[in-house]
Amino acid sequence: MRGARGRPMRRRGPGNLAVLAVALVVVGLVYAVLVPGSATGADGPQSQQIEEGRRLFAVGCSSCHGLNAEGGTNGEGHAAGPSLIGVGAAAVDFQVGTGRMPAAQPGAQVPQKPPAYSEEEIAALAAYVASLAPGPAVPPSESYDVSKVTQEEIVRGGELFRTNCTACHNFAGRGGALPHGRYAPSLMDSSPRHMYQAMLTGPQQMPVFSDAVLLPEDKRAVIAYIVALQESEDPGGLPLGRLGPVSEGLWGWLAGIGLLVLVAVWIGAKVPRTGRGRSPRGE
């Protein structure tokens, strides 16, 4: 036995160790190149994004939420913005993505408006807030992709919507008033991503529907139902709050009666004239 296999370990040890070391370094480098976003790289793009987020936050958000997102007070000691520690990337993506944040001035409720930040800036702000403490992450796009849902899923989503959401959002998703000058907005312009995040983070008066309470597939069914509402034409042709056959029937009835009255008036106006037209012949 004189082949390499036969040699005692000690003699070939150093050579093999060197090969092993080189291999490890190569694997490490390849890994570092292929997995740039891994949270461990202190100088990786991930931490650059967090730095960028921190910078944007200091400029645009810290006046209300505090320099470290710990929550801020205004001059008179009133809370200007809540602490964002632990609200998670999803809350930031929702609040900034729907234009609610940065809030312009204090009021009963911060309204939606066109977003003030680009997609990348929102992602940076979200990464920064997420780096402070764990919280709900931005959901992956498959979780709110409703392009392939079945009709049964939409029906199930409708049931879930009626149980969980109509109390505030109206059963046609048109929104409604809440106490103290607040309101649940109409969902007719909401995007699937923001719907998912609204359920996940429960903005303001809205309860949090965590993934444990409303399973991700239930959330998708609800989203599919709302999207179907958005896409469907109003059955009655007029947005009457979708109160159903009663209100639409009422309108049909009123319009129909109106038409009948007009016809009656027209006939009434016409009859004497024809009468007069005939009278010379008749008398």
The reply on whether position 60 binds ligand HEC by CB under 6 A is yes
Query: Which region, judged by CB under 6 A, interacts with ligand HEC, from 37-45, 86-94, 148-156, 244-252?
Result: 86-94
The reply on whether position 184 binds ligand HEC by CB under 6 A is yes
Tokens for 114, please give them. 């066109």
The reply on whether position 209 binds ligand HEC by CB under 6 A is yes
C-beta of 23 vs 79, nearer to ligand HEC: 79
Query: Element (H or E) spanning 80, and its range?
Result: strand 79-81
Binder among 149, 190, 220, 229 for ligand HEC (CB under 6 A): 190
User: Which residues contribute to the annotated binding site for heme c?
Assistant: 61, 64-65, 165, 168-169
Tokens for 235, please give them. 């059955």
Nearest CA to 217 out of 152, 157, 158, 166 is that of 157
Q: Greatest CA span in the chain, whole angstroms?
A: 143
The reply on whether position 109 binds ligand HEC by CB under 6 A is yes
Which 3-state string (H, E, C) describes 120-168? Answer: HHHHHHHHHHHHHCCCCCCCCHHHHCCCCCCHHHHHHHHHHHHHHCHHH
Query: How many other CB atoms are found less than 10 A from the CB of residue 48?
Result: 13
Nearest CA to 44 out of 127, 121, 125, 119 is that of 127
C-beta of 158 vs 185, nearer to ligand HEC: 185
User: Which residues contribute to the annotated binding site?
Assistant: 61, 64-65, 165, 168-169
C-beta of 121 vs 248, nearer to ligand HEC: 121
* Chain residues in the site for ligand HEC (CB under 6 A): 60-61, 63-65, 80-82, 84, 87, 91-92, 95-96, 98, 100-103, 109-110, 112, 125, 164-165, 167-169, 178, 182, 184-185, 187, 190, 194-195, 198-199, 201, 203-207, 209, 222
